[in-house]
Amino acid sequence: MKIGAYELPNRVFAAPMAGIADRPFRRLCRALGAGYAVGEMTTVDPRLRASRKTSRRLNVDGENAPVAIQLAGADALMLADAARYAVDRGAQIIDINMGCPVKKVCNAAAGSALLRDETLVSGILEAVVRAVCAPVTLKLRTGWSPQHKNALRICRIAQESGIQLVALHGRTRACGFGGNAEYDTIGEVKSRLQIPVVANGDIDSPEKARQVLAYTGADAVMIGRAAQARPWIFREIDHFLRNGTKLTPIRIADVRPLLLGYLDEHHLHYGEPDGVHSARKRIHFLARGLRGGRQLCDRINQIDNGAQQRQALDEFLLESAARHAFFEYIDAADASGA
């Protein structure tokens, strides 16, 4: 599996989830088996480059190659300029967002709203490809609504424009994250394109990943929401795809230093109090469905100090490991990440 000149270790990717896929989370996913991780959506407005939010999202210090930054916007020239700016600061792959369904983004004619204007899509993709030497990829949905699916036409435009990979979420913009992802469109796109196609949407287990790859013929899978609760899902899927057998569950003692290191990096990345407040959501996802997880979340909600937050997570992990070598899930649905 390659993107441009970059050889990837496997075909299990971490999705560029807005508000989640920051540098600390990407590094955690890579450490737990993701072959590739794309940065969260970053605005192309040059007036915001000096803001803390944008500068953090463009900070790729210490990240393993290939480093991918995702850009969101609706103006071809601004996107091209932002791509050059990101590459100058260490990005090695540029990903264009045409999949975000959030109203705030779509109201600015960006994200999945772009799927309604195929001429604009062509102009944007050609401008960005011309602007940088780095590979350019595209993340999109199947269309604007179930009645207006045009992913195949958009992906053909992408291929003709020089895009080197497309990641396709099996829902339209109107679907949001409701219902079930469909994979027929992904399969159709894969059958008509020569560039790699990545399947995304509702992939929450090794078995589901293999099923989706077999059904669509896609080159790789991209994992989003399931990884928030179980970031070790990448190693589980990779092992299953390579060997056809389930990997032994990860030991709490083995994942403990990774999770604590992730929390430390999160605090450093955002500073206090921002890092403490934003880490609550991350810890809530990790604790969901775990025995004692609700009590951990209640405790975390009362803490406004990074060191105490770390101590609470560490004590939870140590107590869990003392009871059982592996995480104990109370709810099977939570264990699957569904």
162-187: pLDDT as tens digits: 999 999 999 998 898 899 999 999 99
Domain boundary among 214, 243, 272: 243
pLDDT band, residue 236 (cuts 50/70/90): very high
Domain membership of residue 212 (yes or no) is yes
Domain membership of residue 329 (yes or no) is no
Spatial CA neighbour of 199 closest among 217, 182, 221, 181: 221
Quote the number of domains for the chain: 2
pLDDT at 333 over 90: no
The domain that contains 48 carries what CATH number? 3.20.20.70
Output 104 or 150, whichever has higher pLDDT: 150
pLDDT band, residue 294 (cuts 50/70/90): very high
* β-pairing verdict for 166-169 and 136-141: parallel
pLDDT at 336 over 50: no
* Same-domain check for residues 107 and 232: yes
Quickly list DSSP for 51-107. SHHHHHHT--TTPPSSPEEEEE-S-HHHHHHHHHHHHHTT-SEEEEEE----HHHHT
* β-pairing verdict for 68-72 and 93-98: parallel
7-51: pLDDT as tens digits: 999 999 999 999 999 999 999 999 999 999 999 999 999 999 989
* Same-domain check for residues 225 and 303: no
pLDDT band, residue 107 (cuts 50/70/90): low
* Same-domain check for residues 111 and 17: yes
The pLDDT value recorded for residue 332 is 47
The pLDDT value recorded for residue 331 is 62
pTM (2 d.p.):
0.93
Mean pLDDT of 284-313: 95
- The CB density around residue 302, as the number of other CB atoms within 10 Å, is 8
Structure tokens at 33: 């088996």
Domain membership of residue 332 (yes or no) is no
Domain boundary among 223, 243, 263: 243
The set of catalytic residues is 100
Give the range of the structural domain holding residue 261, as residue numbers without chain letter. Answer: 252-323
